[in-house]
Structure 1
């Protein structure tokens, strides 16, 4: 469990600080947080393995006319990039953060070396304007499917067929993957969604400060209004058992299942943070990739 103390000073002002009596820290894009590890918690064993070979990771970018700028991409392919044999591709929103704070590439490399993953590669995407583009944005979904994915296929080819491309994202990144799928049903053969920001006006009023809250809730309302969906795919979902998104994730999973999707929903004893998402990679993400591509 991650936490901070909110200090209110007698002379005015306030600040959030880590627990000075607790040396355990978890890094994140908004700074470190203190960590409380409950009895029975075990960190993933794969974290103790080596870092990926530098030859397996390439930094590049792809252009987007829809978004008006380049999107940074971190590409991972086991064994390096000398031979570009087509491989199934995992496309990841907030990809650099997934790698920096949840060690995604290290996990993929470890599981690949141990033959627990099918042959595959990963494209880790960085957002240009996360709050805007990941919040049920039609412009972003168009950019992702019509511009980014074709350019990625030119750099890191995958076999034909939408089953060979899986989308992954957490929080708003998960919402954006689901949005892209509903606009472009043939883009992905599966989705791995962690703590998706599937907000509704009924249960998520605390999120109404978001600039695109209305667009998000409208998108989710439209999904729930559909009684069936002609293009269901396999979807794996995880969510922390003590986070605010739990109710909307349960509801979304049930809605998608009712529409014919093959949905698996997992609740994890943690909150809305990178460590929680990291700790579900093995076995949930590993098994999901094997089920789709094995």
Structure 2
């Protein structure tokens, strides 16, 4: 293998062959960063022919793997590096990653469908900023479903949310809410739930006619939507919760250092213990099969189903990232938008 020209990563079956060229010997060691739960003992690259190499057997329950090289220099300092040999890269909440797409993976078909972009306007309500998007041709005074997305600008940039909505073939609007102080607001915060129900949604309903509201959120944003709906049952007519952060004391002790772990865990325990709910709404949850959140999502989905939400959990072949959430939007987003199109205002 030539040390002067990087070799693209090769995937044979479920085995990935990775190489990082290092002809000048800059690095003392190189390790793979990934989030699909591979044992740490399998992540060190071995020195080989002016570089570093790793043959990695990948789990059967993922279709794609995002990764970085963590290179350690002679002084002990580390750098997180994209794979210079891999042209496939994907954006994420914490920057770009290199990505391996395994046999059988395909992006969602709707990404290849041309649809009018729609319109956008600035949005500010109750101290929450964002954008109000509407499908092309939707008159300002025409009633339509409203998707209210936590982390809305990132959902749009990294998961193509409005592109997906534009392809639904029905009139729809989306309020893309910026998080502000995310870890506080989205961690089962009563003040934020009150703000969402008492100021943000009324301001949106005063601005445009709404047939019904679909609450959309991922990670802490999904948790925040369920918390708001339990505290204010009329705030949403359906929920789509992706990899929601339903921290539980027994299932998630590794997260105990998060500043609002206790508040989240108390709320989740209340949900799991409840026998009924004041106003259950149609709910779909999605979660990666190798996520740490999978066990707590299974528990919450079962509880919501018992309480009349008609909830179901869709487990996907990915982990906790925006591409996974993008790939899992359909058909659930379209089906729930259709439900709230028929909801009473």
Distance 1:150 1:80 in 2: 24
Residues 111-132 of structure 1: per-residue CA shift (max 9 Å, x gap): 22xxxxx432111111111111
Once the two structures are superposed, the pairs formed by residues 91-102 of structure 1 within 5 Å of their partners are 91-102=148-159
So what's the TM-score if we normalise by structure 1? 0.89
Once the two structures are superposed, the pairs formed by residues 1-294 of structure 1 within 5 Å of their partners are 1-50=65-114, 52-53=116-117, 56-64=118-126, 70-80=127-137, 82-112=139-169, 118-159=170-211, 164-293=212-341
Contact 1:73–1:124 (CA under 8 A) maintained in structure 2: yes
So what's the TM-score if we normalise by structure 2? 0.77
Residues 35-70 of structure 1: per-residue CA shift (max 9 Å, x gap): 1101011112222334643xx222313232xxxxx3
Contact 1:59–1:72 (CA under 8 A) maintained in structure 2: no
Distance 2:317 2:171 in 1: 31
Give secondary structure in 1 for the equivalent of 2:123.
strand
Give secondary structure in 1 for the equivalent of 2:331.
helix
Contact 1:57–1:77 (CA under 8 A) maintained in structure 2: yes
**How has the CA–CA distance of structure 1 residues 61 and 293 changed in structure 2, closer, same or farther, with 3 Å as cutoff?**
closer
Give secondary structure in 1 for the equivalent of 2:167.
helix
Q: Could you list the runs of 5+ residues in structure 1 that have no partner in the other structure?
A: 65-69, 113-117
For residue 52 of structure 2, what is the aligned residue in structure 1?
A: none
Q: State how many pairs are aligned.
A: 278
Shifted more, 190-199 versus 83-92: the winner is 83-92
Greater percentage in helix: 1
Give secondary structure in 2 for the equivalent of 1:36.
strand
Contact 1:136–1:175 (CA under 8 A) maintained in structure 2: yes
Distance 2:244 2:137 in 1: 32
Residues 141-165 of structure 1: per-residue CA shift (max 9 Å, x gap): 0111101001111222213xxxx11
Distance 1:4 1:205 in 2: 26
Shifted more, 139-148 versus 4-13: the winner is 4-13
Distance 2:255 2:121 in 1: 34
Distance 1:94 1:76 in 2: 14
User: Residue 4 of structure 1: CA displacement?
Assistant: 1.8
Give secondary structure in 1 for the equivalent of 2:80.
strand
RMSD: 1.7
Larger Rg: 2
User: Residue 293 of structure 1: CA displacement?
Assistant: 3.0
Distance 2:309 2:140 in 1: 36
**How has the CA–CA distance of structure 1 residues 239 and 99 changed in structure 2, closer, same or farther, with 3 Å as cutoff?**
same
Runs (4 or more) in structure 1 with deviation over 4 Å come to: none
